[in-house]
Chains A and B, each alone.
Chain A
Amino acid sequence: MLDYLLAFLILLGAGFTFIGSLGLARLPDFYTRLHGPTKATTLGVGAMLVASAIHFSVGEGGPSLHELLVTLFLFITAPVSAHLLSKAGLHLRLRSRAPAPGKASGEQRD
Chain B
Amino acid sequence: MMSLPLVVLLPFLGAPLAAWSVRFGRLGAPWASGGITLVTLLVLLGVAEAPFAGRTMVERLPWLGSAGLDLAFRLDGLGLLFALLILGIGLLVIFYARYYLEAEDCLGRFYTYLMLFMGAMLGIVLSENLVQLVVFWELTSLTSFLLISYWQGSEEARRAARMSLVVTGAGGLALLAGVVMLGEMVGSYALSDVLAAGDQVRAHPWYLPMLTLVLLGAFTKSAQFPFHFWLPAAMAAPTPVSAYLHSATMVKAGVFLLARLFPVLSDTPAWSGLVGGFGLATFLLGAYFALFKHDIKGLLAYSTISHLGLIMLLLGIGTPLAAVAAVFHIINHATFKASLFMAAGIIDHEAGSRDMRKLNGLWKYMPHTALLAMVAAASMAGVPLFNGFLSKEMLFAEAVGVQTQMAFGWLLPVVVTVAGVFAVAYSLRFIYETFFNGEPVGLEHTPHEPPRWMKVPVEILVLLCLVVGILPALTVEPILAVGVSGLLHGPAPEYSLAIWHGFSPALLMSVLALAGGVGVYAFRAPLFALAERMGGRFEAVRFFWRGHDGLLRWADRANPWQDGVSLTTMVLALVGAGGIVGLAGHLGGGSPLAGGATPTPLDPVSLLLGLGGIAAAGAAVVLHRRRLASVILLGAVGLVIALVFIRFSAPDLGLTQLSVEVVTLILLLLALYFLPQHGPAEDGAARCLRDGVVAGLAGLGVGLVSWAILTRPHETIADYFLEQAKPGGGGANVVNVILVDFRGFDTLGEIAVLALAGLGIFAMLQHLYLPGPAKDHAGRGWDPDRHPPIMASLTRLLLPLALLVSFFIFLRGHQLPGGGFIAGLVTAVALIMQYLANGVSWTQARLPAHLHGIMGTGLLVATGTGLVAMALGYPFLTSTFDYFHWPLVGEVELASALAFDLGVYLVVVGTTLLVLIHLGMVHRASHGVSGNPVGGQ
Where the two chains meet, the residues of A that have a C-beta atom closer than 8 Å to any C-beta of B are 69, 72-73, 76-77, 79-80, 83-84, 87-88, 91-92
Residues of B within 8 A of A72 (CB): 801
Are B783 and A80 in contact, with the CB atoms below 8 A? no
Are B785 and A87 in contact, with the CB atoms below 8 A? yes
Residues of B within 8 A of A87 (CB): 783, 785, 788
Are A84 and B794 in contact, with the CB atoms below 8 A? no
Per CB-CB distance, the 3 closest pairs between chain A and chain B, nearest first, are A91-B783, A83-B790, A80-B791
Question: Can you offer 24 A-B residue contacts whose CB atoms are under 8 A?
Answer: A69-B801, A69-B804, A69-B805, A72-B801, A73-B801, A76-B794, A76-B797, A76-B798, A76-B801, A77-B794, A77-B798, A79-B790, A79-B794, A80-B790, A83-B788, A84-B788, A84-B791, A87-B783, A87-B785, A87-B788, A88-B783, A91-B780, A91-B783, A92-B780
CA distance A67 to B888 in the complex (A): 23
Residues of A within 8 A of B804 (CB): 69
Q: Mark B800-820, 1 if CB is under 8 A from A, else 0.
A: 010011000000000000000
Residues of B within 8 A of A91 (CB): 780, 783
CA distance A73 to B804 in the complex (A): 12
Task: For A83, give its contact among B780, B791, B797, B805 (CB under 8 Å).
Answer: B791
Distance between A47 CB and nearest chain B CB, rounded to angstroms: 21
CA distance A84 to B789 in the complex (A): 10
Are B785 and A80 in contact, with the CB atoms below 8 A? no
Cβ of B795 within 8 Å of any chain A Cβ, yes or no, is yes
Residues of B within 8 A of A76 (CB): 794, 797-798, 801
CA distance A83 to B790 in the complex (A): 8
Mostly, the B contact residues are helix
Q: Given A76-B794, A87-B785, 10 other A-B contacts at CB below 8 A? A: A72-B801, A73-B801, A79-B794, A80-B791, A80-B795, A83-B790, A83-B791, A84-B788, A87-B783, A87-B788
CA distance A91 to B785 in the complex (A): 10
CA distance A80 to B794 in the complex (A): 7
> What is the interface size of chain B, counting residues whose CB is below 8 A from a CB of the partner?
13
Distance between A40 CB and nearest chain B CB, rounded to angstroms: 17
CA distance A8 to B863 in the complex (A): 53
Q: Which residue on chain A has the smallest CB distance to residue B805?
A: A69
Q: Which residue on chain B has the smallest CB distance to residue A92?
A: B780
Residues of A within 8 A of B790 (CB): 79-80, 83
CA distance A73 to B798 in the complex (A): 7
CA distance A97 to B795 in the complex (A): 32
CA distance A84 to B797 in the complex (A): 17
Residues of B within 8 A of A77 (CB): 794, 798
Within 8 A of A (CB), among B758-811: 780, 783, 785, 788, 790-791, 794-795, 797-798, 801, 804-805
Distance between B746 CB and nearest chain A CB, rounded to angstroms: 32
CA distance A63 to B889 in the complex (A): 15
Q: Which residue on chain A has the smallest CB distance to residue B784?
A: A91
CA distance A72 to B797 in the complex (A): 10
Q: Which residue on chain B has the smallest CB distance to residue A84?
A: B791
CA distance A106 to B754 in the complex (A): 54
Residues of B within 8 A of A80 (CB): 790-791, 794-795
CA distance A83 to B791 in the complex (A): 8
CA distance A88 to B801 in the complex (A): 27
Distance between B860 CB and nearest chain A CB, rounded to angstroms: 33
Q: Which residue on chain A has the smallest CB distance to residue B781?
A: A91
CA distance A40 to B422 in the complex (A): 97
Residues of B within 8 A of A92 (CB): 780
Q: Which residue on chain A has the smallest CB distance to residue B798?
A: A76
Distance between B666 CB and nearest chain A CB, rounded to angstroms: 15
Residues of A within 8 A of B797 (CB): 76
CA distance A79 to B789 in the complex (A): 12
Q: Which residue on chain A has the smallest CB distance to residue B776?
A: A92
Distance between B75 CB and nearest chain A CB, rounded to angstroms: 67
CA distance A76 to B805 in the complex (A): 15
Residues of A within 8 A of B783 (CB): 87-88, 91
Residues of B within 8 A of A69 (CB): 801, 804-805
Distance between A23 CB and nearest chain B CB, rounded to angstroms: 20
